[in-house]
Every structure is written in structure tokens, then in C-alpha cells.
Amino acid sequence: MKLQALIFDVDGTLAETEEFHRAAFNQVFVRFGFCWLWDRELYKELLKITGGKERILHYLRQFKPEDLDRAQPQIAHMHQLKNQIYGEIIQQGAVELRPGVSRLIAEAQSSGVSLAIATTTSLSNVHALLERTIGVRGLESFQIIVAGDEAPAKKPSPDAFEIALKRLNRSASECIALEDSANGVLAAQSAGLKVIATPGIYTSDDNFTGASSVISDLGEPHRPHQHISGWDWPQGVVSIAALEARASQGQGGPL
């Protein structure tokens, strides 16, 4: 089966963005008059809840029940402002794509492999990241973007991936997903996709059982990635040629 499309997650997969999201959350809490602080340890736990509004509500219920009545009606506005702040942070140029991402996107375009995004983050956040890291062509690189509240249920539900597959008009066997978290891997698997996992700074301890390949990143010719489990890749680099070989041969052994 020829590889027809790659479906990328965004936060932690395209770029290490979670620290910028955490900073934006903390700024918005101050602006709304709440004495809340999400440090790294707490945020790592909160990331198990996908979706920003859902994450705030979970935090309130679990850690700040005394603020629930006052804060819950403001969650949507808090999240909207948080995304605005995040966009401003990204526009300052503090973020870069993870190793191998830009290269693989360019290879896919040259090879006629479609590109899609399936994420739980808001569409404005996707646009901000792509515009800053790739430029105008970043938005044009991805034929399909499924973001934010577009999916009825967020990861680990497969909804976002299933919507992406439907819009691509491709079967799961013709596509490969790229993720950084256990929730993302579960969502892609549930949609029938093979998944390559590149754990991020907040997901290195996740359980990636079932991922076809777990590697430190996609790798560059001058900087090969670290192989963790599953499929390995020639010279420590995930390329379109190697992905097409995987898609045609199934699980298989080393290439």
C-alpha cells in the first residue's frame, strides 16, 4: 500500500510548545484575578487532560473547588485570552520546529504525499505556530487541519484523526500519524493508524505501547535521532522513502 498522507499532531510533535502554553495559562490566571500557578510538575499532570478549557475545569474540580462557582462561567473567556497571549509569545520568535520536521514536510511535498494536522489545540494556535516557524507556506503545506473544538471528543478519542481521514479521502492503512503523547497514540491507533511517537519534554514518561516506532525525534542527516523502540530508521532519520517502505511492508523489522 503506497503512503498517501502524514497526519501530524501539533503541540510537542511539530514543536516543543507546552512551556509557552503554560506561561500563557499563568498570565491569564493573574489577569482574571486568580492566585493559581501551574508549575512544571503540576502541568505535566494536567496535560493528561486534553483541551485547554477541559484542563482548566479539571484543575478547578481537583485542586481549587472553592473557586469553581466563580471561575467556571469565565472558562471560555479565559481560554480565549490564553490563546491570544500564546500567539503573542509565539510571534516573539521563541519557538522552533523539532528536528526533522521541516525536512520531512518538504520531502512529503516533493513526493506528492499529503499533509494533515489532527490536534486538540485551537486553530489560532496552529496558525500562529506555522506562520512563525514556516511562514505563509506553512499554512499552505497542510491540506487538512482538524483543530480545537472541531472534533466532538478530544484525544484519546479518535475523532480528530477520523475527521482528517475522511477529509483526506484516505483509508487509515494509507496514512501514518506522528504524535508525542500516550493520548495521541491511543487516538491514532483507535482510528486504525500506524503511529510514530516522538516524546516531548512533558511526555517522556508516557506509555507508548502500541506505537509502531518510538524515537527521540525525526532526525537530521547531520544529527541522527535516538531509537527507543519499534521500527528503526536508516542513519537515524525518518524519511519519506523509509516511511513508504514501512507503509508497503507493514510492521516488519529493521529497514
Would you please indicate which residues are annotated as catalytic (active-site) residues?
Answer: 9, 11
Closest Cα to residue 130, out of 111, 113, 116?
A: 116
Contact 197, 179 (CB under 8 A): yes
In the numeric block, which cell numbers belong to residue 24?
A: 500563557
Contact 28, 78 (CB under 8 A): yes
Contact 238, 100 (CB under 8 A): yes
Phi and psi at 138, nearest 5°, equal: -65, -45
DSSP 19-51: HHHHHHHHHHHHHTT------HHHHHHHTTS-S
CA 93 to CA 113: how far, in whole Å?
29
Q: Which residues of 71-89 are buried (b: 16+ CB within 10 A; e: fewer)?
A: beeebeebbebbbebbbeb
Q: Are strands 227-230 and 213-215 parallel, antiparallel or unpaired?
A: antiparallel
